[in-house]
Structure formats: structure tokens, C-alpha cells
Amino acid sequence: MADPVIIVGGGLAGLSATIEALEGGAKVILIDSEKSLGGNSAKASSGISACNTETQRKLGIEDSRDKFFGDTMSAGDRENDPVLVNVLVDESTDAVEFLENNGVDLGDINLCGGHSVPRTHWIPSPKEGKPKPVGFGIISALKDKVNQFNASDPGKLEILLETKVVGLTSWNEYITGVNVITGGKKREVEGKAVILTTGGFSADVKEDHSLMQEFAPDKLSLPTTNGAFARGDGVKMARAMGAELIGMNKVQLITLVKVHPTAFIDPADPGAGTKFLAAEALRGKGAILINSKGLRFGNELGRRDYLTGRIQKECQPIEKLQGGSAGLPAALMLFNDEAADSFGRPGFNFYYMIKKFFVKYDNAEALSKSTGIDYSVLSKTLTAYNDFVVGKADKKKDQFDKSTFPVAFPLDKPLYVALVTPAIHYTMGGLKIDKNAEVFNEFMAKPFKGLFAAGEVTGGVHGSNRLAGNSLLECVVFGRIAGRSAAKIDYSNEKSSFVGKPPIEGTAKHQEL
């Protein structure tokens, strides 16, 4: 059997790479430190962005690759690598088709912050029953696909769970394996190439060798939406081998109330360091944000970094309402029945009835009495917003440059209110890669042979700020590219020439965390 491709990390990028490598004829060893596959990808709730898709055409949405490219570059303040963005955009349609061909229904689309047109695809919410979050649905479908490979061609795929990768190994110029610890024992796993899909470093807050401490110490006091496994292991391992890093000071915050850039404050545990991510689709379907004075303070469909800044500037900590915000600046997210129906009742009820993030008030006056917000201010805020919804306003854009107003908020109708606060969500910086997902060697000024990376472990795609839905897209696009690229590697003739010869400089290196 030929040497395998080793994939480190079992989230969306890792599963996409696994499927492509297997379909390319390679044997694969997939390694993850957790008890099950999925990573942060399984928690994604807003969707996957793409342009010129069949779903867009069916819904009458006019989009183009130039619009998508422009939105992505603009959101990243043009600090993005345009070569990588071109790949991201050009491969986006195929990425959605890849998921749909593997059993994911992406038949609904949301308009999310920073996008000029609706293009963030997600799983339609059922009218009743249990909703399927888009991240969980995608991961479940790709895990099923991987299991089908195991059933149809045993021996082609090996999955190692609860196995921690602690370093990369190399043979001559090639990265060919990893050192792992499993069951308390250390061993080397050998192959012909390594793909790192280990995610970001948002939870890497310990002072010893902490990437957050090194690159974003000013954000260490903020809560996070990430699991404890987001330690930056892939970045650290590749860096120890001389890999080039890019954009490491770009850490995205979650500030709004219902999407990738927002974090719910749980009334049952306001001070929890890990927050539950609020789907950006909530804002796309009509949620608005106000501060404790009853005033809107920004465009709810603006960029994530913009909304984060507005909350931090215009919102104060809340003490009594719904358990308070534990000293964190917090906004009130307002939702109503019309928005809930548009979002999907089962999905909304998960936030409202199961997680209990939302509290229902009979009307605006009831909200005013409970919160202490001046009713005259609150009613003026909602009336002014409603004028844009029904077309009574003199202008098409409000004072925050918002031009899309999904639902009105009648003063006499029920309101659902949740508290949200900024939280560390995503790290845009990481390993520098090229269009083939090859990792750059900083000292050689060219890519390593046999080392690839995809997903949040990399940098360059998003620039200074990421658009909603571009994370899942990046995982699929570059995960598939990495899998295809690694499967094609064949250095058997080169390697055979080493037999019986003394190692040359750079041969059989071992670098560990």
C-alpha cells in the first residue's frame, strides 16, 4: 500500500480534505484530539457563502463573482491575499454543489452583514419539529460520506480519535509524518504528506507559548465562542519547522446578537467565559439592536468589526435585566413573531425555549417597564425604524447607512429580547499558503514539500475581517484543494535513493510543541 496522506484535524476542512484525497486514490490517516469529529465547524449557524448558485437563481437573486470578490476584499480592508480570494470565490459554486451532492440541503439563503446581496446558504428550517443547524448538518453528511468509504473500501482510511499530534517529522525536503500521543504513549505516524486543518487559536490563552498572549494580549479578558480545542496547535507545529505566518494580530470579535459576530449572554450564567454563538441569520431575518437607553446605535447588517466597535462604544454593562451582563458591555437584541417565522420557528425556539436566551414581553411598554428604558425613547426608536420598513421615511437609508429593513416592530405586539456582547470568535491569522494550499517556508521563501493547510489554521484569505459564511466556504474550498494536492504527491523514487546513504542536512527532522 502506498504511503498515506496524514490529515490533522477532523472539522469541515479536514473532512473535505479526507474525501478528496480518498477520491484521488490516496490512503488517508485522519487524526483528531477529541472524542468525535466536527470541531468548531459543527457549531456554525449562519451558513456557507457562495455566488452564482442554483439556489440563488431559483430565488431570483442576482449575484456575480466580482460582487463576491469585492465584498470579501472590502470587508478585509484589502489586506486579503487576492490570489486566495480569487480561488475562494471562483470555487464557491462547486463547494456548495459538493455539499449538496453529499446530502446537505442548502436551499435557503440569508443576507448577512457585509454582503451586498443574499448569498449565505443554509439548511431550510422546518415548519415544525427539530431544526438542523447548518454546521451540524454539513459535518453529519460528510461523516456519513467518510463512513461509506470505510464500508466500500476497507483499509483506505484510518481514523485516530483522542490522539494529540505534538510535532511534525520530515524526510529530506518532505514533511512526511507526525509525532502523536495516544493512551499516554508516544509514537510516530508516517506518510507521504501532512495536511493541517487544526483550526484557530482563540482558546489559546495560557501564558506559556500562548499565541493569544503573543499576538492579541489586549483581547485576553474577553469571552470566547470557541471550544477548548482551539489551541493553535497546527500553527505552533508548523512554525517550529519554519513555516511563515501571516495576519496573526487579526482576531475577530463577536458583537452582535445573532450571527457569527455575536455572543449570547446566558441569563443562567452571565459570567461564563465561553459564550454561545448567535446566528448572524437572526439579524438577516430582522433582529435589531438597541442599547440600555433604548437607542439603536448602528447598522445591524454592517461588518462584524464595525458592530463590535459600536457595541463597545455605545453600550454599557447591564446590571439587572435578564441576569445582567457580568460587567460586559451589552446590547439588547429585539426580535418579534414575524422575524421568528421568517427565521424558522423551530430554530428560533431553540434559542428562546430551550436555551432561554430570549425573554418575551407583551409589547414595547412592558419592555420599557421591565428594563427601565424611557418609553418615549423606545417608542420613538421603533417608530422611526418602522417608517423605513413601510416606506414612510424620506430616504432609503437610515442614519447608519442601512438599506434593508426585513420586518417592522409594532409597539403593541410581543417582543423577544436577548442580551449580546462581544466575544472572541475567529482568528484570521495563521499559516501562509498558496493557491494549492501548500504552506510557505519562511526561510526558503517557497512552499514546503508535502505540507498543506486549510481552514482557520491559515491566514490571508480574510484580511482584517471575515464575512459571514466565508469560514465554512474556506474550509470546503481549500480543504478539497489540499486533499487533491496531497493525493498527487509521489516521491517514492526520490525516497528509495536515500536507502543505505547517510542522512544529509535537513533529513529526518523532528520538531515538537
Q: Which residues are catalytic?
A: 260, 283
Separation CA 173–CA 185 (nearest Å): 28
Residue 334 pairs in a beta bridge with: 288, 417
508-to-7, 177, 352, 408, 502 alpha-carbon distances in Å: 20, 10, 56, 65, 11
Q: Name, in order, each residue with C-beta under 8 angstroms of 462's C-beta and a sequence gap of 6 or more.
A: 72, 75, 76, 80, 247, 250, 428, 470, 474
Separation CA 223–CA 216 (nearest Å): 13
Angle (CA) 307-310-314 rounded to 5° is 145
The residue type of 271 is G
Question: Distance between terminal CA atoms of the chain?
Answer: 30
Candidates 248, 258, 292, 302; CA nearest to 278 is 258
Residue 159 pairs in a beta bridge with: 30
Q: Name, in order, each residue with C-beta under 8 angstroms of 101's C-beta and a sequence gap of 6 or more.
A: none
Separation CA 169–CA 348 (nearest Å): 47
Q: What letter does residue 253 receive in the DSSP assignment?
A: E
Residue 441 pairs in a beta bridge with: 243, 446
Residue 359 pairs in a beta bridge with: 417
Candidates 92, 94, 122; CA nearest to 108 is 122
Q: Name, in order, each residue with C-beta under 8 angstroms of 99's C-beta and a sequence gap of 6 or more.
A: 48, 106, 138, 141, 142, 476
The C-alpha cell 490516496 sits at 26
Q: Is 24 exposed, middle or buried (0-12, 13-18, 19+ CB in 10 A)?
A: middle
The cell numbers describing 483, all together, are 486533499
Determine which helix (DSSP H) or strand (DSSP E) holds 177, and give its type and residue range: strand 174-182
Candidates 301, 252, 238, 246; CA nearest to 461 is 246
Candidates 276, 283, 289; CA nearest to 258 is 283
How would you classify the pairing of strands 458-459 and 430-432?
A: parallel
The residue type of 318 is I
